[in-house]
Amino acid sequence: MFISSIGWLGLWFLGKQGAEIKVENSDFIVEADEFFNFGGATPKETLKLFIAALEKNDLILAVKYFIPENRETESEDLTKLYEIHLLGDLLKDLKSIKSGKGLDDGRYRFEVLDETGQAAAELELIKNQKGFWKIISL
């Protein structure tokens, strides 16, 4: 009974007009990601670091260059590519990237081109609050 009373009191408090919860230290959000400092100062540098990790078959290091929300999915995808011996194809494609373009302040996109010069895939990055470029997705 006591616990449910506290729960209802909390709901009443949060439902009051003007009641709000503020995050005083937004840096805590960044630092909650233990790998926030993995990445380069530029998108190209992060791409090079990512490629170097893949060349060593260090998938644990490679996924540290992704944003936290996508690490698990990308880890599974990279592991599957490794297991079916297609990681080399991904490396070849990543090494063929010549340039990319800034999308807005803090976002960047590389395009992976196929043999005909058409975009076959994209690699999108975002700059975190500490200034490191992280991979959003492959």
Give the residue extent of every domain in the chain: 17-137
Tell which CATH architecture fits domain 17-137.
Roll (3.10)
Of the listed ranges 16-30, 60-74, 99-113, 123-137, the one predicted with least confidence: 16-30
β strands within 21-115, DSSP E: 100-104, 107-113
| Structure-model confidence comparison of residues 87 and 16, the more confident one | 87
**What are the helix and strand counts (H, E) for the chain?**
6, 4
- Please provide the average confidence, as pLDDT, over all residues in the chain: 81
Q: pTM to 2 decimals? A: 0.74
pLDDT at position 12, please? Answer: 36
